[in-house]
């Protein structure tokens, strides 16, 4: 089977991106990253890509008149490289309706909580872990899901829990959840590249 052509959107350090790269390199994922795009020029994820001789691109939102125009450039860039799967690996911008329609059922996102808890508008990055600690829940975790037009509302592919200890700080909790993110994002991408995921309404069936 031909490797699935993958496009990755990032905004930061790219540790989830690195997990994908490592698992492609060791043969666990039957995919090939064709392009990494960042909306931030100093995102270390771009360096990670360059080290692996993967094409990288920084697109500055300020150079475009609207979100729609910016997203059309994203679409154009990925389509030019025949990308089949889009992975959001810590991408902190909202995708446009056009983008989601263009790649419907082919966009995967990782979120650092057990959706539908601590998700939606305003819940991203460390804000999620702060909210978890402030609320006092005993279990949090990570979720990989397909992206639809809502915020963190698409069909769930995989989830894994993380226990919240009384001694946990923002940093310790973030680290524990990140380890789980790396694991289940890799699993989800592997399943997608093996054509083992089917969306049935709100549910994702693993074949």
Q: So which residues are the catalytic ones?
A: 111
Strands (E), the chain: 4-10, 31-38, 56-58, 85-88, 107-111, 139-146, 156-163, 197-200, 203-206
- CA 110 to the chain's CA centroid: 4
Q: Is the dihedral of CA 139, 141, 145, 150 positive or negative?
A: positive
Cα dihedral 6, 10, 16, 21 sign: positive
For residues 16 and 181, the answer to whether their CB atoms sit within 8 Å is yes
């Amino acid at each position: 089977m031909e490797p699935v052509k993958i496009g990755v959107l990032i905004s930061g350090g790219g540790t989830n991106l690195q997990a994908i790269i490592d698992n492609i390199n060791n043969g666990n994922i039957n995919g090939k990253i064709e392009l990494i795009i960042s909306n931030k020029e100093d995102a270390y994820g771009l360096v990670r890509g360059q080290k692996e001789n993967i094409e990288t691109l920084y697109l500055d939102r300020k150079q475009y008149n609207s979100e729609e125009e910016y997203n059309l450039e994203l679409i154009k860039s990925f389509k030019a490289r025949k990308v089949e799967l889009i992975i959001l690996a810590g991408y902190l911008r909202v995708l446009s309706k056009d983008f989601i329609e263009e790649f419907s059922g082919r966009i995967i996102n990782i979120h650092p909580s057990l959706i539908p808890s601590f998700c939606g508008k305003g819940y991203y990055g460390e804000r999620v872990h702060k909210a978890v600690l402030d609320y006092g829940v005993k279990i949090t975790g990570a979720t990989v899901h397909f992206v639809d037009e809502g915020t963190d509302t698409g069909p769930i592919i995989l989830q894994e829990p993380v226990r919240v200890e009384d001694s946990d700080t923002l940093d310790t909790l973030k680290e524990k959840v990140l380890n789980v993110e790396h694991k289940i994002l890799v699993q989800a991408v592997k399943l997608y590249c093996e054509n083992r995921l089917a969306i049935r309404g709100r549910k994702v069936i693993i074949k």
